[in-house]
Structures are given as C-alpha cells and as structure tokens.
C-alpha cells in the first residue's frame, strides 16, 4: 500500500514537471530572480529593476562517475516563503541586522533511474540573491564525489572588474582593475614572488569576492556564504561572452568535494545595487550563514592590541632564537643570536605600553621553539605550540600582563602543517587557558600538510571550522592568517573573529608594498566576507628597515582612517611603541577608536577611488569617521546629520597636513578641534594617498 502511494506521488511529480513550462520567480524590492528549465536544464537569471544583473545562467553539479545533476532534470514542485526577522550579532558593525528575503525552493529530479533528487534554494533580498544546492536524504544518493560545479554567472556586458588571480593557496595578491575581457592572471602570479605558495593553473580564473561595475551603473559583487565542508569557489572568466563559471579548488587527488546526502553546498551570492555604498552596507552574506552555534558568548571580547611583530617584519629582530637547529653549544642547547624579539624584557616593554595607552592586548610571535627551520621544506613537525624559547618566561609574562590588566595574545604558526596542528590543538589551547591567553593568531605559511591539499580546498575548509570549534570549547578567540577567505562564518562561530586571507599592511614591510588605491578596493573585495586582521597604524612610513627601500604608500592620517574604514573586532596597532611615542597626539585616535559598533553608515564610496565611513560606538553616543582616497587628492564634503539632533559634540579632526602627500611628505598631519551638531557640515581635504579620521564626543554640559 505504502509503495503504491509513493508511485502515485511520483506520477504526480511527473505531471507537475510536464506542466511546469512557466518560469518561477521570487523578488524583493528591485531584485528579481527567475528560475526556468531550458531543455530540462536548470537555469536562473537576476534583474535589478529594468537592468539585467545576470542573464539566463546554468545551474548544476557534476558527479564523478556520472549520474550527477549536470543533465536534464524534471521539476517536482516548488515553494515560496517570506521571511523578515532581526537578529543581534555578538560583535560587529551594527547592533541589529534585518534578515528580510523571499525564498524560492525548487525540487528537481533526474528523469530516469536512479531518479536522484536535488533542490535549489534561492533567497532574494533587496540587495541581492543567494542560492545553494541541497541534496535531501534519499535512498538513491548516499556517498558522492563532486567533480565539477556548473554554476554560471552570465554577465550582460564587459564590466569593469576588480580582481585577483584564482589561486588555490593564497589571496594575498594586489588587485587589478580591468574589463572582464582582459582578465589574464599570468603576469600577476609570476611576479608575486613575495607570496610563499602560489598555484593558479587557470590564467582566466579570478578569486571571489569579485567586484564588478557595469557601464549602465550597477555595482555587482559575487562571492559565497557559509563555505563549510566544500572547497572555495573561484570563477573562470570567458572574456568573449562575459560568462563566469564556478571553479572549485581541487583536493590532493583532483576531486572537488566528498559528500554524503543529506548535504548542501555553500550559498552563491550576488550583491547588487546602483549605489556603491550599498554593497559595503549589505548584510546578505551574514544573513545567509547559520545563527551562532556557541553555547555562551560572553567570553568573546573585541580587542585592540600591539605586538612583538612589526619589529620582526622590518628586520629589527627575529622570530628565531638561534641561527639554525644545528648551532648548539657543548650541552646541546641552541646558541642564541641575541636578536630574538620574543624575550621576556622586550615583551614586558610592550605590556607596559599597552597598559599605559589602554590597549587590550599584546601579541607575541616567535615565542615558541621551531623558528630556526620553520617553512619551505614541507616539514610536518616544526612546532608543538607549548614549548617556549629559553628567554621567554611564560609564567612571568602572564603574571606581569595580569598585574597590568593586559591580555596576552597567543601565536600559533603551523607552517601549513594542519595535521600537526590538529594533533596539538587540545594541549595548545589548554596551555593558553593555563596562562590566561584569550585569543590566538594562527598562520599557515607554506604548502599544506596533508601534502597535496590546498589552503582553499574542502579538507582545509573543514580544518578551519574544526579549529574554530575546538577554540570555542576552550573559550579562545581566533584570528586566522593564510586561511581561506571568509564567507560570513563569524556569525555561526563568533569566536572566529578575524582572518587575514588578503594582502595586509605587512606587505609594505617585505615587498614592493601596496599602492594607495589598495585600501579603497579591499572593502569591496576581501572584506565582503568578514573582518580582516589588516594591521593598520604604521606611523613610521619610510626608512623603517635596513635597506631603506620599503615604504608604506599612505599618509599617516590615512593610517588612522583605516581603523574605521576596515572593520575588525581584533584590531592591531601595528607599529613599534617608540614610533607611537613620537606622535602621541595622533596616537590618541588609535587609543580612542572602538572595535565594536552600534551603527555604521557608508557616506561615500567608489571602489578603487575613495571611501568614507562613520560608525557609532557600542553603547555610547560617540561617532568615529574615516575617509580615505587613492593616489588622487580629493575634497570630501560631510553632512553630520548622523549625530543625535540637539546635541553638541567635540569633533577632533586628524587630517593630512597642507603639504601632505604619500610620496613627498607622508608624515605631515594636523589635528584640530571644533564643536559641531547634527546640522553642521565639514569639508575634508585628503592628500594624494591620504585620509582623515574624526572622533565625535558629546560635549559635557
Ligand atoms: C604571515 C603572517 O601574515 C604574519 O603576520 C606572521 O607574522 C608571519 N606569517 C609569521 O607567522
Ligand atoms: Ca600573510
């Protein structure tokens, strides 16, 4: 009887399929999504008002051994539902996040045996669309191996693109601005020798978040949300047709993903608007992630920190303690070089500085054994994450930090040996708990172990989640360097507070650096998925290293503005204490600026050109503004109507000096104060490669 009913239902499904010729759709505001079967093949299209965002584009997933969802399918049915809810992030750019969308779920089935079923779920927001493939529990589908994802983004024209190469192991490239038809990453990959591991076999592949601008005035960002148990998606660009096709980062044996139904892919995301600031304000990616999974979150604290770090980046001291693992004395002990940065006395100096300036934490790199031969040889056992060098007295340092009210931040460089790290995770976090370290910066410089895996493949994507989960068990917050670029998972794991996964300020220490436009592109690309540990705040902008060749390509005032325009709940004051002590007036802004906010407004933005952001401090009526430009000087008019009406504020304006210029006079700045209200207007003058920062504090009566 049961079997008979099932057959009947199947037949009904067939009928629905035969009748389903009309396309299905969902919409929200100006955004409209259309789904259709074309010759049995699933397709979608997205429009923004009268303008096409993506033309009819293919959907599908191919399996190894065939019988995947790459051929014709029949429609079993569909549902539409509306959702409108508001949630509060544990930390972030705003206090409340509205999640308002129309969802279309499409149930599909293979027409012939084994008749496997797959759903495509679309969520349509006022600022874009997310969609993913879901594989329901079914007898016809157990284990399966994804060989390719067929998702396309058929763009209607040859847009301007802000792109980096689609590399399996790194996102630390400089951005190139070009038409889609001109995408070719060969030169970028070849010349970026400062990046330790590069593998970008497809010259026409770009990474996401990919920022696009159309000639008819649309800003479009393509990325993904909730990348879990699946490789990162890159995009192959067909220059002639402007069709982008998903390319998944392969694993060590050339497969893309090993899955078992029920399962689902990450969301593919399109953020769209005719205004550039809307792209930056979008919460679409966070909304598509699962809510917080952690039982408690009161231990997760946004932090500003200094670190025994930049001094190694600029060659003033070393991570390593001895010259090599073989420089041993008669007792078999490493012979110190005398250049080791992470020594107790030096660490105390940073703790004193943090305490004196009300900064929350101190990061110390190079504290543990292993740095004499740490990367480049694809070695599995380099670090054990619990053995300090002889001159780093962990107990004394943690007691001292505690006595000064400063938190210590741990450093776990894995040199890519994820297996070794996983074996030590539990003891490493117990060690942190014992000495009172609430946060860890991890790192994956070098080729990955398991050998053959890539930083951005399925195995590592699971590793990063395992690290976040294990850290959470021990009440540890994480900042992952050289991890896969974020996809909003900080909503689900709010202790995964930041990642690097992009070209940070440190490139100004050891490479040709990043040009002034870099920080005007980053918010539209790397930051779309979540916070970045960019390490802003370099005050000594030139001649900071022995060869005198390197320089930061911004003014000093722009370094201050970065604390507002580049959001991270873990934010470093990256320069040396003495360089801050040389400019106590400018350093005041770094001391004051919060790392957690009630509200954020993007006042002006254009990718690659300029950006002005203002944010309201958490639980305080104080506002902080950052404004930056690329290599062009600009004036930026400001209306202060974000301030509470009827209230007087003291605005402290940290601006480029009259003669400031990132090349000729980067350290020239001027600080002025004035009383303003919500009715006031200001005009900022930004130098070439410059910026401005403002704090607004209520005037006490
Ligand atoms: C690369 C990281 O990005 C950097 O911040 C760190 O200092 C080095 N790896 C050493 O772990
Ligand atoms: Ca790095």
Evaluate: CB of 365 within 6 angstroms of ligand 1. Answer: yes
Evaluate: CB of 500 within 6 angstroms of ligand 1. Answer: yes
Which tokens belong to 503?
A: 């070209």
Exposed / middle / buried, residue 447 (Cβ in 10 Å: 0-12, 13-18, 19+): buried
Nearest to 114 by CA among 144, 148, 147: 144
Question: Among 224, 372, 500, 506, which one carries the catalytic annotation?
Answer: 506
Evaluate: CB of 622 within 6 angstroms of ligand 1. Answer: no
Nearest to 246 by CA among 150, 133, 120, 122: 150
Distance between CA atoms of residues 594 and 618, nearest Å: 8
Most ligand 1 atoms within 8 A of CB, residue of 506, 526, 536 to mutate: 506
C-alpha torsion angle, residues 649, 652, 655, 658 (rounded to 10): 100
User: Tell me, what's the pLDDT at 7?
Assistant: 36
The mean pLDDT values, 10 residues at a time, for the chain of 701 residues are 37 40 91 97 98 98 97 97 98 98 98 97 99 98 98 98 98 98 98 97 98 98 98 99 98 98 98 98 98 98 98 97 97 98 98 98 99 97 98 98 98 98 98 98 98 98 98 98 98 98 97 97 98 98 89 98 98 98 98 98 98 98 98 98 98 98 98 98 98 97 69
Evaluate: CB of 446 within 6 angstroms of ligand 1. Answer: no
Tell which atom from ligand 1 comes closest to the C-alpha of 504.
Answer: 3
Most ligand 1 atoms within 8 A of CB, residue of 310, 442, 479, 481 to mutate: 481
Q: Is 16 helix (H, G, I), strand (E, B) or coil?
A: helix
Evaluate: CB of 506 within 6 angstroms of ligand 1. Answer: yes
For residues 166 and 183, the answer to whether their CB atoms sit within 8 Å is no
User: Tell me, what's the pLDDT at 5?
Assistant: 36
365 as an active site residue: the answer is no
User: Tell me, what's the pLDDT at 21?
Assistant: 57
Where b means 16+ CB within 10 Å and e means fewer, 239-271 reads eeebbbbbbbbbbeeebbbebebebbbbbbbbb
Angle between helices 458-473 and 418-435 (to 10 degrees): 20
Which tokens belong to 27?
A: 């919409």
Pick the residue whose CA is nearest to atom 3 on ligand 1. Answer: 481
Distance between CA atoms of residues 214 and 409, nearest Å: 44
User: Tell me, what's the pLDDT at 26?
Assistant: 98
Phi, psi of 400 (to 5 degrees): -65, -45
User: Tell me, what's the pLDDT at 18?
Assistant: 40
Most ligand 1 atoms within 8 A of CB, residue of 319, 382, 413, 500 to mutate: 413
User: Tell me, what's the pLDDT at 3?
Assistant: 37
Ligand 2 midpoint to CA 644 (Å): 40
Among all bound ligands, the one having the nearest atom to the CA of 413 is: 1
Q: Is 533 helix (H, G, I), strand (E, B) or coil?
A: coil
């Amino acid at each position: 009887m049961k079997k008979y009913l099932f057959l009947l239902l199947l037949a009904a499904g067939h009928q629905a399929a035969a009748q389903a010729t009309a396309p299905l759709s969902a919409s929200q505001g100006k955004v409209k999504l259309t789904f259709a079967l074309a010759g049995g093949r699933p397709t979608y299209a997205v429009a923004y008002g009268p303008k096409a965002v993506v033309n009819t584009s293919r959907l599908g997933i191919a399996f190894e051994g065939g019988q995947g969802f790459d051929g014709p399918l029949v429609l079993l049915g569909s549902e539409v539902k509306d959702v409108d809810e508001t949630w509060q992030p544990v930390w972030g750019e705003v206090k409340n996040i509205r999640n308002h969308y129309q969802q279309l779920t499409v149930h599909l089935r293979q027409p012939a045996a084994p008749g496997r079923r797959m759903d495509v779920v679309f969520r349509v927001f006022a600022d874009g669309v997310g969609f993913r493939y879901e594989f329901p529990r079914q007898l016809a589908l157990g284990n399966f191996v994804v060989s390719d994802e067929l998702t396309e983004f058929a763009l209607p024209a040859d847009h301007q693109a802000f792109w980096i190469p689609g590399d399996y192991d790194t996102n630390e490239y400089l951005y190139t601005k070009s038409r889609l038809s001109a995408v070719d990453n060969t030169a970028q990959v070849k010349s970026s020798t400062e990046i330790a591991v590069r593998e970008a076999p497809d010259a026409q592949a770009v990474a996401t978040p990919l920022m696009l601008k159309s000639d008819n005035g649309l800003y479009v960002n393509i990325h993904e949300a909730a990348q879990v148990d699946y490789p990162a998606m890159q995009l192959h660009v067909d220059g002639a047709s402007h069709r982008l096709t998903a390319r998944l980062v392969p694993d060590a044996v050339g497969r893309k993903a090993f899955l078992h139904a029920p399962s689902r892919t990450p969301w593919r995301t399109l953020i769209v608007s005719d205004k550039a600031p809307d792209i930056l304000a979008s919460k679409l990616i966070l909304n598509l992630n699962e809510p917080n999974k952690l039982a408690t979150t009161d231990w997760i604290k946004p932090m500003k920190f200094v670190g025994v770090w930049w001094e190694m980046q600029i060659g003033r001291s070393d991570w390593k303690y001895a010259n090599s693992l073989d420089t041993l004395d008669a007792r078999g002990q490493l012979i110190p070089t005398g250049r080791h940065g992470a020594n107790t006395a030096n660490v105390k100096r940073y703790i004193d500085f943090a305490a004196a300036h009300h900064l929350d934490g101190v990061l110390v790199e190079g504290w543990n054994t292993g740095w004499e031969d740490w990367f480049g040889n694809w070695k599995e056992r380099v670090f054990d994450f619990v053995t300090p060098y002889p001159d780093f007295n962990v107990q004394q340092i943690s007691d001292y930090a505690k006595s000064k009210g400063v938190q210590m931040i741990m450093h776990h460089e894995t040199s890519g040996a994820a297996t070794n790290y996983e074996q030590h995770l539990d003891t490493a976090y117990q060690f942190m708990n014992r000495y009172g370290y609430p946060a860890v910066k991890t790192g994956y410089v070098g080729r990955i172990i398991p050998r053959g895996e890539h930083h951005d493949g399925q195995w590592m994507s699971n590793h990063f989640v395992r690290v976040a989960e294990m850290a959470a068990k021990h009440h540890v917050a994480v900042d992952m360097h050289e991890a896969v670029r974020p996809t909003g998972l900080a909503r689900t794991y709010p202790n995964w507070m930041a990642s690097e996964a992009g070209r940070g300020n440190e490139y100004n220490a050891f490479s040709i650096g990043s040009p002034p436009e870099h920080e005007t592109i980053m918010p539209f690309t790397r930051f779309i998925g979540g916070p970045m540990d960019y390490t802003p705040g370099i005050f000594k902008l030139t001649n900071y290293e022995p060869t005198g060749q390197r320089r930061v390509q911004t003014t000093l005032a722009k370094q201050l503005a970065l604390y507002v325009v580049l959001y991270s709940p873990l934010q470093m004051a990256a320069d040396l204490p003495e360089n801050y002590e040389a400019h106590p007036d400018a350093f005041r802004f770094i001391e004051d600026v919060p790392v957690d906010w009630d509200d954020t407004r993007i006042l002006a933005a254009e990718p690659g050109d300029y950006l002005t952001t203002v944010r309201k401090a958490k639980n305080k009526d104080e506002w902080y503004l950052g404004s930056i430009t690329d290599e062009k000087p600009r004036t930026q008019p400001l209306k202060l109507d974000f301030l509470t009406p009827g209230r007087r504020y003291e605005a402290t304006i940290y601006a480029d000096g009259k003669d400031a210029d990132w090349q000729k006079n980067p350290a020239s700045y001027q600080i002025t104060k004035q009383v303003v209200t919500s009715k006031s207007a200001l005009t900022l003058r930004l130098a070439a490669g410059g910026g401005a920062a403002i704090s607004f504090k209520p005037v006490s009566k």
